Structure 1
């Protein structure tokens, strides 16, 4: 391990006085809203204060070499460096250690990476750092750490933390609270807590299970084609700006609602639309509670009557192709508490931004098991491969109704034959025979959603 002094160099970005006063001595850490897509906080590393992206999708702490006084930056990755792979790209780091302070939590001898290369230089067109960010602070689990600390990662030093993110671009008021929630904020806004347990007893990410997705007024569907333990893996990730969907889900959404829009860039799957574009309400069910995103919750105003639609696709290959990434698009709407090794709690307004008691459409038995990554084939009116639909869609309902009508017609003919050839049978017996014919229950048709998935261009959720 290379020992590198963590002395802060000159910064071109003037931090707000709020952040400068909140890096230590309080369990409340103020956060800076940068364009409504990234949230910064201050952390003290080796006695110097740095501005970092706060990321619940990864576990390491690193600072750009370009923001260290006297640090020699390498244009290429040194042979003794380590590589951290994120959804948005790789970061090359030289490992060192330093005492850190975040809020009122101080940790000695914490593993810190000094990031090398042009993609951690804010002046580079390929930079992964936006705004005034000088590094990244991961708040996921030790199992993800490329730079493990001797005493564990930061969340091993807390019981819980909560994050409130303001929605309007560049507004004040965002914060992270260690070991608690803001009861005054909850009371003032009439918020109700709904807790979703983590899917694993030994977690890596903050992964919870999504059990249904509804677009507009259509019937809810099971929101992925491969599930584990009866639900779709959903990583709660404050380091990803958008809401990331499985590829097939995102593709249908684009085809149905964004056909008149244009790609933000040739290498992205993020769309720019006219501000009057008609977009449906999105309803995401976790456990037995459904949370709602209205159009205004998942668009970003660009000015000039243009907006960015804040949905994208997760990786189209590898272990994330059926995973949802619950990024800031969702987290800006719902105050969120992270209870270490236990659960994620979303705060919402009952019967407004959420509905309790919603029953999720179950995954068909043929496509789930007690193990992970069990696939299902599913079906739907558009026959989109790779997405499992719950229950039945319109064509499925038509098929079932046809079968039911055929059965009823057959039974009717049989009853006439019985009456002709068994006329002497008592009316009581005939009545009993009719009663023995069981009715066929028609299951309401499952929603055949129209959405696909694309490769994430933002986000700091870590890849395995």
Structure 2
């Protein structure tokens, strides 16, 4: 198969794949292992937030790149090192020049100090930062000085044009991401407005040193995880920053709800329209079609860190009941796993899964991925034991099986439109190559990515430490989008 390295390509930042702009990044190599640990609860939990339809709705757009937090997940699912709970980054050889990862970066508009920018929204990190005028751009891997446009940021933040910027003495932000990119900058307070909500004094970094491969649109990033993941340090010399010595501060969304500006909840709805991203609502849910029924499941605090101890990410992880799939389009399933010969039992019971809008596909246990691939009509091919090509391929004209993820006894089905993705063309036959949206996690972590999230309205209830899901109709996003497709609730 001409595109045999597809899944391996997912293990590196799609920011290294440039469709236009500066030259593509060299392929990064990662030698350290990653560990996964259960973390203690973040403190006293609040009652679940009332899910009101709110006006603080942000229209998301897509960028050309990978969610920075999802790089950890992609790294860990590739190769089991034989140590319990530990996975090594697989060294890759080449990248197919395909755009399968388009849309895994979601951008939102933000106004900072009276200046308008687009920023990456990342649910797996916490710090807000913007590249500022006069910053020094370097190559992320060899650290050679480069012109500004090499880092390929969007419009730059200019502190001199702001009347609300206040620098914080002796404080710096120092972030190194899993793909080798990094940023550093002085800290300050600034007015941030997103979705019509303003935090007048948000701590952030005006980045003045960056090893980055941008998308030509986004100027920085706003993290939506917890304050435990912030990366500010004392002093102004990043060479003196030590792991474990971070100074915590309130991220942007935490400031929103601790100041009682909004409820401690946000929600996301992805769209399958490749030209759109979706919507994000702050303090409630957007006014889009969805089922009247909700399920609620606790967020399990799971920490992921490099063995070197340099970086830690925390993810929104939930326990799922299992998977429902069959080539029989009229099949009925038994989410209670009780004795009922007329219904099919679930598989993969009690799996911990990361809900990640920064990953395109779904990654499940190897045997489940093989079973789903063979349930296509005609069936596909999938060999997770292959060290050269563990990709699950399907004929582009296949009829997908019924497939759903069961949470709290509710099956959330995936629209057939989301089950097959075209992955370029075969070099010899020039025929399109297609893959299943359900891929083997290669004994790594289970991920519910965009292919699943397009079918639900996902609510991140931070105060109650709960995630809540409602099935979405097979339509677009109403006033927030233009896509339409037939069907009913998933």
Q: Which TM-score bucket, shorter chain as reference? A: 0.5 to 0.7
Say which structure is richer in strand.
2
Establish whether residue 166 from structure 1 lines up as the match of residue 258 from structure 2.
Answer: no
2:437 is the alignment partner of 1:310: yes
Task: Select which of 278, 289, 297 maps to 1:196.
Answer: 297
Q: Which runs of 5+ in 2 are unaligned?
A: 1-19, 22-54, 64-101, 144-171, 233-245, 258-263, 304-312, 334-343, 425-430, 474-486
Structure 1 distance, partners of 2:216, 2:108, is 12
Q: Deviations over 1:188-231 (max 9, x none)?
A: x554332223235999422211111122158444527xxxxxx3
1:451 maps to what in 2? none
Query: Aligned runs of 1:62-461 on 2, under 5 Å?
Result: 62-63=129-130, 65=131, 68-76=132-140, 82-86=174-178, 89-98=179-188, 99=190, 100-103=192-195, 104-106=197-199, 108-112=201-205, 114=207, 120-122=212-214, 130=215, 132-147=217-232, 151-157=249-255, 158=257, 159-171=264-276, 174-182=278-286, 184-186=287-289, 191-200=292-301, 204-216=314-326, 217=331, 219-223=344-348, 231-247=350-366, 249-250=368-369, 253=372, 259-260=380-381, 273-301=394-422, 306-314=433-441, 316=443, 321=444, 323-342=445-464, 343-348=466-471, 353=489
Label 1:143 to 1:313 Cα distance change in 2 as closer, same or farther (>3 A): farther
| Residue 20 (structure 1) aligns with | none
**How many angstroms does 1:115 deviate by?**
8.6
Is the CA contact 1:282–1:293 (under 8 Å) kept in the aligned structure 2? yes
User: For residues 279 and 308 of structure 1, do their structure 2 counterparts lie closer, same or farther at Cα, with a shift above 3 Å needed?
Assistant: same
Q: Quick check: which one's helix share is greater?
A: 1
Aligned length: 301
CA 1:213 to 1:48, structure 2 compared with 1: closer, same or farther past 3 Å? same
In our comparison, the structure showing a higher alpha carbon Rg is: 1
Tell me, in whole angstroms, the C-alpha distance in 2 between the residues paired with 1:270 and 1:345. 31
The Cα offsets for residues 150-190 of structure 1, whole Å up to 9 and x where unpaired, read as 54223323311122222111047x321111123x424xx55
1:17-56 equivalences under 5 Å are 27-33=56-62, 36-56=103-123
CA change 1:251–1:272 in 2 (3 A) is: closer
Residues 228, 248 of structure 2: 8 Å contact kept: no
CA deviation map 1:233-278 (0-9, x unaligned): 2222222222222455445555776745899xx9885556432124
Query: Contact 2:107/2:119 (CA < 8 Å) preserved in 1?
Result: yes
1:7-59 deviation per Cα after TM superposition (whole angstroms, max 9, x unaligned): xxxx98xxxxxxxxxxxxx7222211455544211223454333222222332
* Alignment match, 2:79: none
SS of 2:136's equivalent in the other structure is coil
Q: Which runs of 5+ in 1 are unaligned?
A: 1-10, 13-25, 123-129, 225-230, 355-464
User: RMSD over aligned Cα, in angstroms?
Assistant: 4.1
Aligned to 1:361: none
Residues 256-307 of structure 1: per-residue CA shift (max 9 Å, x gap): 76745899xx988555643212432222111121111133123335687554
Separation in 2, partners of 1:131, 1:260:
38
Alpha-carbon distance, 1:102 to partner = 2.3
Residues 212 and 220, structure 1, Cα contact 8 Å, conserved in 2: no
